[in-house]
Structure 1
Amino acid sequence: MVRFLLSGDAPRSRILAVLLALVLVGLAFAPFIFPGVRALHTAATICIFILLVASYDLLLGYTGIVSFAHTMFFGLGAYGVALASVHMGRGWDALAVGTLAGALAATVLAWLIGLFSLRVRAIFFAMITLAVASAVAVLVSQLYQLTGGEDGLTYQIPRELTPAFRFGELFGVRLNGRLLNYYLVFFTCLALFLLLLRIVNSPFGRVLQAIRENDFRAEAIGYRVVVYRTAATCMSAAIAALAGSLYAIWLRYVGPDTTLSFEIMIDVLLMVVIGGMGTMYGAVIGATIFVLAQNYLQNLMGLAAEATAGLPLIPDLVDPNRWLMWLGVLFVLSVYFFPTGIVGRLRAGR
């Protein structure tokens, strides 16, 4: 059964299997293992970014396409839910319409970009996607009456997904709508991640990998490279938009900085590289490590600074205000010691 769910793509490393199991159990029971609003938000963010990074790896790792427009698709999904909720009111129909509209808009835009751009060289395609993503971000900021501009949009979601909806207590944890919201995010991300696993391990996924290795050879043996690349771009965009919709449902707020920022694109690239390109499990490891570091590295450094207060130089090095520097150091070290990513290293050392 497990092999079927994983589409025959086993971890192929005991250490990797243990890490994946720990992440799965930790996320599945996060509300009960790690109580608190911040811990639950971190767990939900990890789920969403695992899906977002996995959808990007379908492009970068499996097809060999470098794109800087992935956060644009992520933002389209988020704004789809936000606009539908603002204009249709709080209701499940608004969430459904917004999610479908965001995914459809992302798919159509990805199809147009792929249709006109995937025939050029990789670097030119990357520059085109960067230009389009920047234009969309500026447009969203300028259309204040529709999108809220830089202030973004705040909206209401169904009461069943908010803390106001309470229905009991279990193991000392309050059972409310926030918990239901988290498990909506968790199970949807899990299902879509397994779908991506099935795609990359299907004959379609094998063709994508062949195109990545040598697109001229793939074209010579009869595969229409542009068609496959466009299809992969559309699939990746649709999944990214669904991740954006989940993020919008979880946050109940959408703004350019939370969904369309180029910083998010850089973070996604870092997560792919840390975890390992060309393997969906790399998205799980990379997103988990990166989001945890973003949320807790500063706190850990604060504790280290207090513990070494009597020592020379060390408290200044581990000052919490320098957490971004140490995050960069960790990234450099991970690339140096794991050039194929953590998953690639673990599988190679098997």
Structure 2
Amino acid sequence: MIRTLLSGDMPRSVPLALILGVILVCLALAPFLFPGVRTVDTAARICIFIVLVASYDLLLGYGGIVSFAHTMFFGIGAYGVALASTHLGRGFDSIAIGAIAGAGVAALLALVIGLFSLRVRAIFFAMITLAVASAVAVLVSQLSGLTGGEDGLTFKTPRELGPAFKFGKEAFDGQLFGVKLNGKLLAYYFVFIGALVLFLGLLRVVNSPFGRVLQAIRENDFRAEAIGYKVVYYRVAATCLSAAAAALAGALYAVWLRYVGPDTSLSMEIMIDILLMVVIGGMGTMYGAVVGATLFVLAQNYLQNLMGAASELTSALPLLPDLLNADRWLLWLGVLFILSVYFFPTGIVGRLRNSG
């Protein structure tokens, strides 16, 4: 059963299997294991970024395609849900229409970019995607009448996903293990289940014949072309699939935040974060997206607090409290990234699989 769900792609390492199991259990039971607004928000972001990073790894790790337009597709999905919910009402049908429309637009745009650009060298394709993504970000900021401009759009999700919605009053007195049974809990599981389904779908894609051909093209595109595979078609198809998956991740993000804006869904900082997560977790391994996204999001949310506590504990020592000052958390995040690349050149998952 598990092998079928994972499309035959087993962890192949006991430590990796344990790490993935712990992450899955923690995310599945996050509202009950770690009650609190911030911790549940962190868990939801991890779920969403796992899908986003996995969709990018389909391009970079499996297809060998470097793109800087991934946040553009992510943003298209987010804005699709926001616009549909704003103009069609606060129903699940609006979310579905917005998500499907966003994924369709993202795939179509990826198709256009791919057909015109994937025949050129990799670095030129990367530059073209960067230019298109920058242009779209500027366009979204300027079309304030439609997108809300720099202020973004705040919208209403279905009542069942809002904190005011209560359920289970008769059976559980409105609480389960001390956790309030409300719409926010349902919203978290909406995100968790959606992310799980998307991740398993991407895992199926990379372990299908299509995924194996994509890896063969990555290793030697001339040889793949020589034995009869249309390299450009496979790369364009991978770009479209990756864009659609990123857009659906953006749709989940919009549902969770109930807000979209250029900074939350189209920022170049998000693109850099995605690259870091892929490298930390391990390129060409879907499980790398799980490990990389989890570690990175946790570091983003809690490293500053940990450094603040460490600075206080070492206050009697010379120099160390200044180095561990909470304001320098980005510096130490960079140091951790450099160390991870140095000690895990194939990513954490690659290293664990090789050692296992």
TM superposition score normalised by structure 2: 0.98
Alignment partner, residue 15 of structure 2: 15
Cα displacement (A) at 1:93: 1.8
Aligned-residue CA RMSD (Å): 0.5
Cα displacement (A) at 1:205: 0.5
Cα distance in 2 for partners of 1:104, 1:8 equals 29
Alignment partner, residue 303 of structure 1: 309
Aligned pair count? 350
Give runs of aligned pairs for residues 327-338 of structure 1, distance below 5 A.
327-338=333-344
Alignment partner, residue 246 of structure 2: 240
Letter in structure 2 aligned against 1:61: G
Cα displacement (A) at 1:302: 0.8
CA deviation map 1:61-115 (0-9, x unaligned): 0000000000000000000001111111211221111111101100100000011
Is 1:79 matched with 2:79?
yes
Is 1:289 matched with 2:295?
yes
Give runs of aligned pairs for residues 160-179 of structure 1, distance below 5 A.
160-167=160-167, 168-179=174-185
Secondary structure of the residue aligned to 1:217 is helix
Alignment partner, residue 327 of structure 2: 321
Alignment partner, residue 273 of structure 1: 279
Structure 1, 86-95 or 139-148: larger mean CA deviation: 86-95
Secondary structure of the residue aligned to 2:298 is helix
CA deviation map 1:10-32 (0-9, x unaligned): 10111100000000000000000
From 229, 233, 236, the equivalent of 1:227 is: 233
Cα distance in 2 for partners of 1:93, 1:188 equals 15
**Could you tell me the percent identity over the aligned residues?**
77
Cα displacement (A) at 1:308: 1.1
Cα distance in 1 for partners of 2:31, 2:139 equals 38
Alignment partner, residue 70 of structure 1: 70
Alignment partner, residue 251 of structure 1: 257
Cα displacement (A) at 1:343: 0.4
Secondary structure of the residue aligned to 2:175 is strand
Cα displacement (A) at 1:126: 0.4
Letter in structure 2 aligned against 1:103: A
Cα distance in 2 for partners of 1:138, 1:158 equals 30
Alignment partner, residue 187 of structure 1: 193
Secondary structure of the residue aligned to 1:298 is helix
Letter in structure 1 aligned against 2:129: T
Secondary structure of the residue aligned to 2:108 is helix
Cα distance in 2 for partners of 1:135, 1:224 equals 30
From 202, 214, 224, the equivalent of 1:208 is: 214
Cα displacement (A) at 1:309: 1.2
TM superposition score normalised by structure 1: 0.99
Structure 1, 306-315 or 177-186: larger mean CA deviation: 306-315
Unpaired runs of 5+ in structure 2?
168-173
Deviation beyond 2 Å, 4+ runs, structure 1 = none
Alignment partner, residue 33 of structure 1: 33
Alignment partner, residue 156 of structure 1: 156
Letter in structure 1 aligned against 2:66: V
Cα displacement (A) at 1:192: 0.9
Cα displacement (A) at 1:272: 0.1
Letter in structure 1 aligned against 2:5: L
CA deviation map 1:270-298 (0-9, x unaligned): 00000000000000000000000000000
CA deviation map 1:206-235 (0-9, x unaligned): 000000000010000000001100000000
Alignment partner, residue 142 of structure 1: 142
Cα distance in 1 for partners of 2:319, 2:347 equals 32
Alignment partner, residue 204 of structure 2: 198
Cα distance in 1 for partners of 2:203, 2:97 equals 27
Cα displacement (A) at 1:147: 0.4
CA deviation map 1:241-286 (0-9, x unaligned): 0000000000000000000000000000000000000000000000
Alignment partner, residue 171 of structure 2: none
